[in-house]
Amino acid sequence: MAALCVNLLTVNMFLSVFFLPGDLAECPDKSKLFITAPKKMEALSGSCLHIPCTFTAKPGDAEFDSTRPTFGVWYKNVHAFANVVFNSSGTVNKYPMNITGNLSQKNCSTLFSNLTTSHTDTYFFRVNNGPYIATASCDPLQITVKDSPWSPSIHISAGDLKEKQSVSITCSALTPCPHSPPQLTWNLHPDSHSETEENTDGTFTTKLQQTITLSHTHDGYNISCSATYPVNGGRNKTAETQQTLSVSYAPRDTSASISPSGLLSAGIWVNLTCSSRAKPPISSFTWFKNTTDGPKKVHEGHMYSLEMTNMADIELHYCVATNALGDQTSSWVHLNVSDSFQHTAAVVAVIVVVALVCLALCVWWPKKHQTHRDTQSQTADWTEEEIHYRAISVSSQRPGPSSVSVQDSGQQQATVYARVKVKQPANSCAQPADEQLYAQVKKK
């Protein structure tokens, strides 16, 4: 057991000596400079990264003096001269960086512009203040440059959402580059404008915020928020987030229905069914009947079967649906009058049709086969070719039916006789020319 411990200790020492970068291995003993900055930062290629940074300088051989000119240096990977990527003196500008903070005020905030994925690395800060020179070996900064943007996040101010509750909904997006922040849009309020705010750690966040009073209609609603990041010389990069709202609400649309519907007669069994919408689901359905002593509970459960005595009795029933948030009373059971009416109407319609058919058979059919009855006004069922009109002189002075013989001179052999009825116009003051002449011609 002791041997194992010794072995592990040896392995640990071996790792410390040979595998940790020199500067890190020196930390914390030799380090005089410490920076306060995020340990890990993410950035979008084609955009920039604002690195919030302040430093504290412990005195060593020399002391930090803000009156002396101060230069800030960024190394990448490990603290080695060859790895200097930026020197605020202007001597090294390998990477597009700029120190935006006032180094005399120990502000090392840096703007890293025009990032590409190749900038992904670990960075170290160093201060040159006359004789005071120190590297923040203990505070490496890991920067990761991505090609795809971050999905925004949706936050709701309350956990369990209930109707009538007022909640604040926020969509927020990481904003590594506050100079060109993402544009946020959502379906909650299309006209809202996003705002970029500084966080306590010096990073930035872009937000859209809206306070809404929840209703049952918000249940199942998908909030979708999208963040569009502007990037150099390319298309904006967009990412979207969706969140579905789950809102509890008291029973709604509570109704009582009856089966079978339509024409009902005493003595049959009917089912009264109560239905409702609620979240969480209905915990109980209770049936009541209106009596002279007030409402009386008659049944529990969403369906109530009872024997019908009369329709008025059925119509005294109603149900109440209850869930954790409240209850709702249905209207009275209504027999579907329109249903009953439609059934009656259908029956009446059938009777009417049958009656009409009978009438047609009894009146029209026999007439058609009576060859000599001709006083009825009927449509002639002959074709044009069979009829030859000739000049007929009829005295309009003699109203009423009159017999006129007409001889067809064209075809002497086929003599046709006809009876012509002259009808007096309804309006006796009408001109003779306006008189209507109805001729009914029958083949002999």
Rounded Cα distance between 323 and 305, Å, is 23
Site for ligand NAG in 265-284 (CB under 6 A): 270-271
Find where tokens 């008659």 sit: 298
Query: Mind giving me the DSSP string for 311-342?
Result: HHHHTTEEEEEEETTEEEE-------HHHHHH
The interface region with ligand NAG, picked from 89-97, 275-283, 352-360, 383-391 by CB under 6 A, is 89-97
Q: Are 145 and 121 in contact (CB under 8 A)?
A: no
Residue 407 makes contact with ligand NAG by CB under 6 A: no
Please count the other Cβ atoms lying within 10 Å of the Cβ belonging to residue 210.
Answer: 14
168 makes contact with ligand NAG (CB under 6 A)? no
Contact criterion met (CB below 8 Å) for 421 and 440: yes
38 near ligand NAG, judged by CB under 6 A: no
Q: Say which residues have a Cβ less than 8 Å from residue 203's Cβ, sequence separation at least 6.
A: 38, 41, 50, 52, 174, 175, 176
Instruction: Give dist(CA 191, CA 220) in Å, integer.
Output: 22
Q: Stretches 204-212, 253-261, 320-328, 362-370: which one binds ligand NAG (CB under 6 A)?
A: 253-261
Which listed range, 102-110, 210-218, 368-376, 410-418, lies at the site for ligand NAG (CB under 6 A)?
A: 102-110
Residue with Cβ nearer ligand NAG (16 or 271): 271
Beta bridge partners of 286: 300, 320
Under rule CB under 6 A, residue 87 binds ligand NAG: yes
Q: Which of 77, 83, 114, 151 touches ligand NAG by CB under 6 A? A: 114
- Whether the CB-CB separation of 207 and 197 falls below 8 Å is answered with yes
Q: In this chain, which of 31, 77, 83, 107 binds ligand NAG, going by CB under 6 A?
A: 107
The tokens for 269 are 């069994």
Minimum separation from the CB atom of position 47 to ligand NAG (A): 11
Among 187, 244, 407, 411, binds ligand NAG (CB under 6 A): 244
Q: Does 183 bind ligand NAG (CB under 6 A)?
A: yes
Q: HSE (CB half, 13 Å, CA atoms) of 419?
A: 14
Q: Rule CB under 6 A: choose which of 242, 378, 396, 402 binds ligand NAG.
A: 242
- Examine residue 339 and tell whether it contacts ligand NAG (CB under 6 A): yes
> Per-residue string for binding with ligand NAG, 49-78, x by CB under 6 A?
-----x-----------x----x-x-----
Residue 310 touching ligand NAG (CB under 6 A): no
Quote the CA–CA distance of 159 and 40 in Å, as a whole number: 30
Q: How far apart are CA 149 and CA 225, in angstroms?
A: 14
- CB 436: neighbour CB atoms within 10 A? 10
DSSP string, 239-275: EEEEEE--EEEEEEEEEEEEES-SS--TT-EEEEEEE
Q: Which stretch binds ligand NAG (CB under 6 A): 100-108, 152-160, 162-170, 351-359?
A: 100-108
In the chain, what is the greatest distance between 2 CA atoms, to the nearest angstrom?
152
Q: Judged by CB, which is closer to ligand NAG: 142, or 290?
A: 290
Q: Quick one: which segment of 7-15, 153-161, 235-243, 373-381 binds ligand NAG (CB under 6 A)?
A: 235-243
The verdict on 228 binding ligand NAG (CB under 6 A) reads yes
Interaction between residue 235 and ligand NAG (CB under 6 A): yes
Separation between Cα atoms, residue 405 and residue 417, nearest integer Å: 6
Residue nearest to ligand NAG (CB): 100
Q: Does 290 bind ligand NAG (CB under 6 A)?
A: yes
**Is residue 252 a contact partner of residue 235, using CB atoms and an 8 Å limit?**
no
Choose the stretch contacting ligand NAG; rule: CB under 6 A; options: 246-254, 256-264, 323-331, 410-418: 256-264
CB of 4 to ligand NAG, least distance (A): 45
| Contacts of 234 by beta carbon, 8 Å cutoff, 6+ apart | 46
Distance separating alpha carbons of residues 38 and 121, to the nearest angstrom:
14
Residues that bind ligand NAG (CB under 6 A): 54, 66, 71, 73, 84, 87, 89, 91-92, 96, 98, 100-102, 104-105, 107, 109, 113-114, 116, 126, 128, 183, 220, 222, 228, 230, 232, 235-236, 242, 244, 257, 259-260, 270-271, 290, 294, 305, 315-316, 332, 336, 338-339
